[in-house]
Amino acid sequence: MKIKMLYGKEGLDIQVPEDATVLRTEKVKPIYDEKSALISAIMHPIQKAPLAKLVNAQSRVVITHSDITRATPNRRILPAIIQELEDSGVQKQNITLINALGTHRKQTPDEMRMLLGKNIFDNYRCIQHDAFNNSMLVNVGTSSFGNPIRINKVLLEADVKILTGFIEPHFFAGFSGGPKAILPALAGYESVYSNHSYHMIAHPNARFNITEDNPIWEEMREAANMIDNTFLVNVTLDERHRISGVFAGDVIEAHKAGCQFLRKSSQVEVETPFDIAVTTNSGYPLDQNLYQCVKGLSAAQGIVRKDGAIMLLARCEEGLPPNSSYSKLLEKAETPEGILNMLSKPGFMEPDAWQVQIQARILHHAEVHVFSEGLSDQEITSAMMTPCRDIQGTLQNLIGHMGKRICVIPEGPLVMARLKQQ
């Protein structure tokens, strides 16, 4: 059976046994007129006054947006929002766009033009969040988990804060979008690290599809509620990155509506664990490096038996990435056991520790084989995984000693798969 996997920008065709189980999201009809749908949602928001009633000619407005590691269609979302603001009297010079990087690297000017479009980048104030610049962060309170929350100063100084993004399954926050636009996206590094700490990540509810009673998401919600005058504009996307739904209004309630919409198409249950799972990281832009691909591995872990096998197909054009905290932590720890021992030490706080922790959990559960044209064998081995250069040969070998129950997840972490008894 021939299956097209989401891989890089072009996809990848593979052959799998005819009796393999293929897990996909249900097809959702994309929105034909995206701009009209965006304007309509902004004019008729969920549990919030329309955006036009929240601003006036003197309003200072900040619009936050995702960075290049996310598939958010910024170039289609942002013009509609800006048009609505200017039609409502907001002056161009009073509109600021913030690249909500969290602790990710800053984008180059060329990357910013690609992300926003030349017109927006050249004609509006566009800045990038810096989680490590104390002068640009303000303490807004302490969460019920005892963690101080510091947030971007420019955001806080705005009269109206418009938080954009897209909702997809998230491997430890339940879903992306919503309050994640504040924490971690616009928070200080120590607020990100405490939210993504060893004990928070280790919580049994820090998983796909869970928000309520998930401590990571609960603290994100608390942080979002510390910020006044916010307005959410989130979208859902199909596998071709076309907008399938628009959810605007109150940060929590609009996000909740979007999560419910997504569950209907993305939630899949299986009767018993598989011996082998073949997965992806949903292609570009999410499979640009191996660090991000822990999400695709997490999507498969929950439905693969203990000591089974996961095969990841990911382009990884940026490598691990090189010289990152992720690769340094892997090198320092040397083994999955070493990772968990290192990260669980009191007071340990390093960038990307959460990703390495989840990777160690997966490696304890199953063998991981990686096919990637962007990674060398040495890089894959340094990440404690097994290189694969022949997909068919590796798959046949795994069937021979693992078993014949195979599932294929072409869209990777866009599918929320779980066992029925869970």
The answer to whether 178 and 251 have CB atoms below 8 angstroms apart is yes
Q: What is the pLDDT of residue 367?
A: 96
The CATH number assigned to the domain holding 241 equals 3.40.50.11440
Q: List the one residue out of 373, 298, 377, 413 whose CA is nearest residue 9.
A: 373
Asked which of 265, 284, 303 is the last residue of a domain, the reply is: 265
Query: Please, which residues have CB within 8 angstroms of residue 274's CB and are 6 or more apart in sequence?
Result: 21, 303, 304, 305, 308, 405, 406, 407
Q: What is the pLDDT of residue 349?
A: 81
Domain that holds residue 82: 34-265
Do 224 and 151 lie in one domain? The reply is yes
Asked which of 265, 283, 298 is the last residue of a domain, the reply is: 265
How does pLDDT run along the chain (422 residues), one tens digit per residue?
999 999 999 999 999 999 999 999 998 999 999 999 999 999 999 999 999 999 999 999 999 999 998 889 999 999 999 999 999 999 999 999 999 999 988 999 999 999 999 999 999 999 999 999 999 999 999 999 999 999 999 999 999 999 999 999 999 999 999 999 999 999 999 999 999 999 999 999 999 999 999 999 999 999 999 999 999 999 999 988 999 999 999 999 999 999 999 999 999 999 999 999 999 999 998 999 999 999 999 999 999 999 999 999 999 999 998 778 898 999 888 899 999 999 999 888 888 899 999 999 999 999 999 999 999 999 999 999 999 999 999 999 999 999 999 999 999 999 999 998 75
Do 393 and 335 lie in one domain? The reply is yes
Q: What is the pLDDT of residue 321?
A: 85
Asked which of 243, 265, 287 is the last residue of a domain, the reply is: 265
Rounded to whole angstroms, the Cα distance separating 136 from 179 reads: 20
Q: What is the pLDDT of residue 240?
A: 86
Do 122 and 171 lie in one domain? The reply is yes
Do 115 and 246 lie in one domain? The reply is yes
Do 60 and 20 lie in one domain? The reply is no
Do 68 and 53 lie in one domain? The reply is yes
Residues identified as active-site:
104, 170
Rounded to whole angstroms, the Cα distance separating 393 from 286 reads: 26
The answer to whether 65 and 74 have CB atoms below 8 angstroms apart is yes
For the question of whether the overall pTM of this predicted structure is more than 0.85, the answer is: yes
Number of independent structural domains in the chain: 2
The CATH number assigned to the domain holding 300 equals 3.90.226.30
Q: Are strands 125-128 and 137-142 parallel, antiparallel or unpaired?
A: unpaired
